[in-house]
Structure 1
Amino acid sequence: MTDSVDPSDLEDQAIEMLVHLHSGRATTADHLAYDNWCQRSAFHAHAASRAEALWGAFPLTQKARQFVAPPPEKRRKPARALWAAGMAACVAIVVFSAALQRPWSALYADHVTDPGERRELRLEDGSRLWMNGDTVLSVNYSHNQRGITLYQGEALFEVAKDSSRPFIVHAAQGDVQAIGTRFDVDQRGDKVTVQVSEGIVQLSSGGETLRLPAGQSTAYRQGLAPQMAVEVDVQDVATWQRGKLIFNARPLGEVLAELDRYIPGVLYLTDETLAARRISGTFEVDDPHAALNALEQTQPLRITRLPLLTLVRPKR
């Protein structure tokens, strides 16, 4: 082993081995091979230590925190065994969470898109909507109302006028009512962002009502009043529908959250101090890996791609 070896390459190797060791397919020989690899040199040992520290942080991620442990068995298990079982469960959720990234509503929703998929829907009244990747929604039309329930993800709406039946998007206990308009609704967890490119919408949340004309945007959290509206360029609203992702001095954390919609599995930023770093650029929706490559080439970042797991780390 020489100093010419890139330590990050060794970390990548260590992470790949840890993924396999926690996959449920590892044998005793695999564990011994990992132990021997760690002892090959001080560089290997240091890389393994850093990889294990990163692995230990996975149970603290949002996906892992959503894990609900099964009821304890009548016969109490040793604390160490319980910790190991919990750790294994958290790791399994993080690494193999592609099927767990959607809410339970995906089981009974009318329409669901996969990561990276975009879909156009033409509704019975002539309205149209476009679903972004990893989006879950239902259409609920009645004789006196046209309703859309957005459980997760992002959708762009182009609404046909019908004064007798209001068009309302329900998201995170808030309502977005269209008044002959084109607008985008983006729900991430309990936060909803609304951007208007044509017409006017009326947003109701937390007991407060706010009217948004074209060229304005706001956001609200579940059960809370909308934030103060801000101006947006109508040309930049829902650029994903045109196949483009445009970022103008956006925080890296937000950029990665957007790219996560188009990449199967988990996209994980290992160092939150990088989340606020400002990023500008234009990327193709259909090639999110090219966007990651561009970030790796222009920013102090290193991208490690594993099955169902993409790690974004500081470049050393």
Structure 2
Amino acid sequence: MAQRYPGAGPIRKKRRTKRKLAGAAVVATIFALLLLGDAPLYLISDHYAGVGASQRITLGDGSRIELNSRTAVALRFSGAERRILLLEGEAWFDVAPDASRPFVVEAAGGTVTALGTAFDASLDRNAAQVVVGQQSVAIASGGRSVLVEEGQQSAYATGAAARAPTEADLDRVSAWRRGQLMFENETLGEVVDALGRYRRGLVYFVNPALRARRVTGVFRIDDPLAALRQIEISLGLHAVYLTKYMIIIKEYNWIFFRSRPPLCTGDHVFQSGGAFRHSVETGMRQWRAEWFRASAEWGQRRDRGGDRDHRSGGAGLTRPRRHFRRAARRRGADLPDSARRHVQSAQRRGR
């Protein structure tokens, strides 16, 4: 059969090929940035801890440095001072005393001078935070100097003066040295960003308002994907794993639980006030058990010949799901408005 427009077929085929090649090039570029994005830091630093790794360093003067994941430092030692550039990430410094050679950490355009001390310094974009574990440090930034004592913290941005010292939670700040991350009433966006230090990839929120949800908990840093799954379950969210490097987070359309606790930890979910503790694993086992009970109930009804039961939730749904929703309504679970309207419409059709 002759073509209606001679020559159109090959042209369209070439265009489709070009689009596919362009899409493949974009995907390849994204993965290259994810996998090779830290290469410049590795080249300009003296010590570098990769993604998901940590590193302990003992300097020639006896001082010790512990690098967190995705952290890079450069050494600038001289006869007059011991200067370290914090290029990226977070590090714990345990300084050997030497009055003739001050120990100085440079980050975000400011300096932190150790006065015979141990402290934590972190760099996030153009801002630095310092938490003192022992004795004190002097922070110089924006033309001003601030003295931070033991158990206190301060922060500053590039070109700005350091904030006044405040009390710090040393246990939470140093949790990464024990292989944990601790959060207390932090936003979901901040938690996801913190977990991103220990894994490669991107996390995209379909609804940006989800980033404002609050999370309190303790998670292990050796498996950040497991931490994301626990948060997903406890907050009633749904994560779509395109790959382990690209994750999309959205809300569930159906929630069958009677109540959903607002706060979570790596091992447990807490109700407000922390008085009641409910295991996530136990809750999921109960959810699966109810689903299987609904499936078994439908199988029994089918064997008895009672296959059509319009009261069970609507002809447009699969049988196990209809029985599952009926069980949810029986125990007083709230369904979304759209689901309730769908069920009521199906019931009217059944009558």
TM-score (norm 1): 0.68
The structure-2 alpha-carbon separation of the partners of 1:271 and 1:237, relative to structure 1 and needing over 3 Å to count, comes to same
What pairs up with 1:1-316 in 2 under 5 angstroms? 28=17, 93-102=29-38, 104-305=40-241, 306-316=243-253
CA distance in 2, matches of 1:227, 1:88: 47
| Bigger shift: residues 303-312 or 250-259 | 303-312
SS in 2 for 1:180: coil
The structure-2 alpha-carbon separation of the partners of 1:253 and 1:261, relative to structure 1 and needing over 3 Å to count, comes to same
Q: Please list the CA deviations of residues 46-96 of structure 1 after superposition, one character each: whole Å capped at 9, or x if unmatched.
A: xxxxxxxxxxxxxxxxxxxxxxxxxxxxxxxxxxxxxx98x9887655444
The structure-2 alpha-carbon separation of the partners of 1:212 and 1:271, relative to structure 1 and needing over 3 Å to count, comes to farther
The structure-2 alpha-carbon separation of the partners of 1:199 and 1:311, relative to structure 1 and needing over 3 Å to count, comes to farther
SS in 1 for 2:177: helix
8 Å CA contact retained: 2:202, 2:246: yes
8 Å CA contact retained: 2:51, 2:197: yes
The structure-2 alpha-carbon separation of the partners of 1:178 and 1:315, relative to structure 1 and needing over 3 Å to count, comes to farther
SS in 2 for 1:238: helix
SS in 2 for 1:124: coil
The structure-2 alpha-carbon separation of the partners of 1:270 and 1:223, relative to structure 1 and needing over 3 Å to count, comes to farther
Deviation of 1:293 after TM superposition, in Å, equals 1.2
The structure-2 alpha-carbon separation of the partners of 1:267 and 1:214, relative to structure 1 and needing over 3 Å to count, comes to farther
Q: Please list the CA deviations of residues 179-199 of structure 1 after superposition, one character each: whole Å capped at 9, or x if unmatched.
A: 111111111111111111211
TM-score (norm 2): 0.62
The structure-2 alpha-carbon separation of the partners of 1:93 and 1:278, relative to structure 1 and needing over 3 Å to count, comes to farther
CA distance in 1, matches of 2:39, 2:239: 28
CA distance in 2, matches of 1:151, 1:313: 34
Deviation of 1:307 after TM superposition, in Å, equals 4.6
The percentage of aligned residue pairs carrying the same residue is 36
Which residue identity does 1:310 align to in structure 2? I
Deviation of 1:314 after TM superposition, in Å, equals 3.5
The structure-2 alpha-carbon separation of the partners of 1:175 and 1:273, relative to structure 1 and needing over 3 Å to count, comes to same
8 Å CA contact retained: 1:174, 1:204: yes
8 Å CA contact retained: 1:102, 1:152: no
Counterpart of 2:306? Answer: none
The structure-2 alpha-carbon separation of the partners of 1:217 and 1:91, relative to structure 1 and needing over 3 Å to count, comes to farther
SS in 1 for 2:139: strand
Q: Greater relative contact order: 1 or 2 (C-alpha under 8 angstroms, separation 6 or more)?
A: 1
CA distance in 1, matches of 2:49, 2:180: 18
The structure-2 alpha-carbon separation of the partners of 1:165 and 1:315, relative to structure 1 and needing over 3 Å to count, comes to farther
Which residue identity does 1:132 align to in structure 2? N
The structure-2 alpha-carbon separation of the partners of 1:221 and 1:174, relative to structure 1 and needing over 3 Å to count, comes to same
CA distance in 2, matches of 1:139, 1:102: 19
Q: Please list the CA deviations of residues 114-143 of structure 1 after superposition, one character each: whole Å capped at 9, or x if unmatched.
A: 110011111111111111111111122111
SS in 1 for 2:50: coil
8 Å CA contact retained: 1:215, 1:234: yes
8 Å CA contact retained: 1:196, 1:237: no
Deviation of 1:250 after TM superposition, in Å, equals 1.3
CA distance in 1, matches of 2:95, 2:183: 27
Deviation of 1:170 after TM superposition, in Å, equals 0.6
